[in-house]
Amino acid sequence: MTIFITLFFLMIILGAPIVFAMGVSGVAYITMEGIPISIVSQRLFSGLDSFTIMAIPFFVFAGLIMERGGIARRMIDFATALVGWVRGSLLHVSVVAGTGLAAISGSGSADTAATASLMLPEMRNRRYDIDFAAGLMAAAGSLGPVIPPSIMMIVLAAVGGLSVGDVFIAGVVPGLLMAMGLLIAAYIHARVHGGTYSQVSRFSFKQLALTAFRAIPAFLMPIIIVGGIIGGVFTPTEAASVAVAVGLIVGLFVYRELKWKELPTLVLRAAAISASVMMIIAASSIFSWLIARENIPQQLVVFLQSITDNPLIFLALINATLLVVGMFLESIAAILILVPVLMPVVESYGLDPLHVGVIIIINLSVGMVTPPYGITLFVASSIAERPVIKVASKAMLPLAFMIAVLLIATYVPSLVTTLPELVRNQ
């Protein structure tokens, strides 16, 4: 088993795709143990043969349709009417719009791209600190996995044996708290840096009502997806496919910004993005089978219990580990590698797997804003045409608030678990 783990990490360090590192190290172990090699093909196929996992391509497709279908612009118009009167108005607008888009697409990089490309030109005109603005938008984009619907949550639910509906609802309060934290960070920055941020629009209830009315089709998306799943109307996969259908209707016929000729490109992009995620899921099924076969979770339980029997210290260890892992590993890969190992340990400490699951998601969303592999950071820096390192340094204030929310969610479990319990008891 040591050879298996060593080979896996060595291959990752040497730049092999994670999916290949999982596959090759798994095959090497299987060969050495004399297990029939056909188990690899069997696990690859059965790893994907899951109805829940099937939701991923549809959520990806729905997100792409949302970005192209004029919904991002409606969301920004609504956010401008809602918070455009606060000092540092455009910073607040980008956070609110990012939060709204997070409730639609579930993809952090897509949300960041949509917000940044629409907001940055005006921010430049008003002489905002572009590095801070890009860092803030990268942080707002990273809310995508925390606020439902979320691809990361679906993967977590599938791997951790949790209800997709429960995980979705559990992310709402922490996600909104993170959004509030980012708004506070934006306000602090605007207060400290004075005059540049004083230009604001006047609040108009009429304008708010008008933009809210225009954004109704956009708001329908999360209601259909999350409401449909919670209400037992759809399975997550059916909800995602219905979201695609609604997105197409809105983009093609309501807002009329999506063109028929663009659809083939969107389908191809959805297929490519989905394949990259789902190949990891397929390969990780070999990985998790080997981990289970070697009783690694049980060994980890014994090891961790020997260090501490205090669940609070264990949670601190999880946070510290995941914050580091999130800096270097892509989020979905991290979930697929760590969750099968961690969940039995979580239960041994008497902790709620749903609570810890959401903590894992928050940790990894923080990782999306941290160098060297913060994907929303890369997208925001690229659109802003600024060096990653400078944007990252200015993202420290928003990051501090995100980590504060992470700690609150970690040590006040009711913030995560109360809403799912309320919905379940309805």
Partner 1 sequence: MPLIPSHLIPTGLIHHIRRLSIGLAGALLAIDLTAMLYGVFMRYIAGGAPIWTDELARFLIIGCVMLAMGTVWVEGRHMRVALIERLLPQSLLTLLLWYQWLLTLVLAVGGAWFSYHYAQSVAMFTSQGLGISRSIPVMSVPIGFSLLALMVICHGPRALPTLEESAVEANTGSTDRNVAEDDRP
Report 372-401 residues binding partner 1 (CB under 8 A): 372-373, 375, 378-379, 381-383, 385-388
- Whichever of 12 and 361 has its CB closer to partner 1, that residue is 12
Q: In whole angstroms, how close is the CB of 306 to partner 1 at the nearest point? A: 31
Instruction: State which of residues 3, 6, 10, 45 lies at the interface with partner 1 (CB under 8 A).
Output: 45
Amino acid at 221: M
35 binds partner 1, rule: CB under 8 A = no
Minimum CB–partner distance for residue 237 and partner 1 (Å): 7
Nearer to partner 1, 133 or 183 (CB): 133
Tokens standing for 96?
């609110």
Using CB under 8 A as the binding rule, whether residue 298 contacts partner 1 is answered as no
List the Cα angle 178/181/187 in 5-degree steps: 145
How does 292-321 read in b/e, with b if 16+ C-beta sit within 10 Å?
Answer: eeeebbeebbeebeeeeeeeeebbeebbee
Cβ nearer to partner 1, comparing 209 with 271: 271
**Which of 44, 71, 133, 351 touches partner 1 (CB under 8 A)?**
44
Q: Show contacts with partner 1 in window 316-345 (CB under 8 A).
A: 328-330, 332-333
Only segment of 15-23, 74-82, 158-166, 417-425 that touches partner 1 (CB under 8 A): 15-23
Contacts 24+ apart (CB under 8 A), 307-310: 309/349
- Three-state DSSP at 107 gives coil
- Nearest distance, CB of residue 387 and partner 1, angstroms: 5
Instruction: Tell me whether residue 54 or residue 356 sits nearer to partner 1 (CB atom).
Output: 54
**Which C-beta is closer to partner 1: that of 170 or that of 329?**
329
Give the residue, chosen from 4, 8, 18, 103, that forms a contact with partner 1 under the rule CB under 8 A: 18
Residue window 229-248: x/- pattern of binding to partner 1, with contact defined by CB under 8 A: -----x--xx--xx-xx---
Binding status of residue 17 toward partner 1 by CB under 8 A: yes
Q: How far apart are CA 33 and CA 35, in angstroms?
A: 6
Using CB under 8 A as the binding criterion, the count of chain residues that bind partner 1 stands at 74
Q: Which stretch binds partner 1 (CB under 8 A): 35-43, 81-89, 164-172, 183-191?
A: 35-43
Half-sphere exposure of 290 (CA within 13 A, CB side): 29
> Are the CB atoms for 58 and 104 separated by under 8 Å?
no
Q: How many CB atoms lie within 10 A of CB 341?
A: 16
- Give the number of other CB atoms < 10 A from CB of residue 174: 24
What's the closest the beta carbon of residue 44 comes to partner 1, in angstroms? 6
260 counts as binding partner 1 under rule CB under 8 A: no
Whole-angstrom distance, CA of residue 266 vs CA of residue 112 = 18
* Both tokens assigned to 406: 């992470």
Alpha-carbon distance of 376 to 365, in angstroms, equals: 10
Residue 270 within binding range of partner 1, rule CB under 8 A: yes
Please give the backbone phi and psi of residue 34, each rounded to the nearest 5 degrees, phi first. 75, 25
With residue 395 as reference, give the H or E element that holds it: none
Provide the residue type at 403 as one letter.
Answer: I
Q: Which of 7, 28, 35, 48 touches partner 1 (CB under 8 A)?
A: 48
Applying CB under 8 A, which of residues 71, 82, 102, 113 lies at the interface with partner 1? 113
Closest CA to 237 of 132, 158, 315: 158
